[in-house]
Amino acid sequence: MIKLEGSQLAARIKQDVQNAIERMNVRPGLAAVRVGDDPASEVYVRNKIRACEEVGIHSEHHALPESTSTAELLELIASLNARDDVDGILTQLPLPSQIDETAIIEAINPAKDVDGFHPVNVGRLALGRPVFVPCTPAGIIELLDDNGVEIRGTNACVVGRSQIVGRPMAQLLLQRDATVTICHSRTRDLAAVTRTADLLVVAIGRAGFIGRDHIKPGATVIDVGMNRISDKDEVRELFGEDADRRLEVLAKRGSTLVGDVHPAQAAEVAGKLTPVPGGVGLLTVAMLMKNTLKAATLRRQ
């Protein structure tokens, strides 16, 4: 089984962005908006801001209280839309329940929508004329290409139908001439469907759910999941021979990360597999940098 590591590719993408920025007369700007104190969101935003510093993008972080209303957030978005020094706007999801998430996404100027969630950018992707593609699916395509994984003509299966990963992932694979099946929580006999896939992309948010019975021998498996577990017995069951190292992480940090794919079982049958962490997540941030550079370039043409 070959591990599809994302670190080297992510570093190359960020280096290319940095080189392009150094040739520009204007420094691109990215505004990150976070509402509330969700620890995972805080980590994600911090990683994105750190990446901005690495490549030379000016970044600013707007951390708003949990009690923020839709109207207050819309006012901030409007002010960021109006600023010429802000090329990209991202609002960290999910938002607190009292905020109308759809209204916030639609309020962002499509030309600054570096997450690729605005209906205009979703529509462009569906038409095969994408401008901004959601960062995780875009990063997965880069990873597959970089590792010489064939897409054209393959049977591809995407488990998960979110607007962030599942649906745009299916669109990108379809545009690369794969035969695509989308599975979800209502799919009957999920394993029977996923076992037909030469390329399996999993994004459902359920720790270690996809096991050996779901995977076609030799298939390429892309694990988008990022779940924290803290039970020692669960760690031993999921990681097998690698459990001791993960238990050390658990002892130090109180939890360890696992994807939506059962790592020990998948390693027995998959031909290629992305690790968690160290796989898709690094590319998501790198593609955000690439999208921000693209936004800055397009706005100034």
Catalytic annotation, residues? 48, 92, 115
What 8-state DSSP symbol labels residue 92? P
Query: Can you give the three-state secondary structure of 171-214, one letter per residue?
Result: HHHHHCCCEEEEECCCCCCHHHHHCCCCEEEECCCCCCCECHHH
Question: What values do phi and psi take at 111, rounded to 5?
Answer: -75, -15
Q: How far is CA 210 from CA 188, 207, 222, 238, 252, in A?
A: 15, 8, 11, 11, 27
User: For the chain, where are the alpha helices, taking DSSP H only?
Assistant: 7-22, 39-55, 70-82, 101-107, 119-126, 135-146, 166-175, 190-194, 232-239, 243-253, 263-269, 280-299
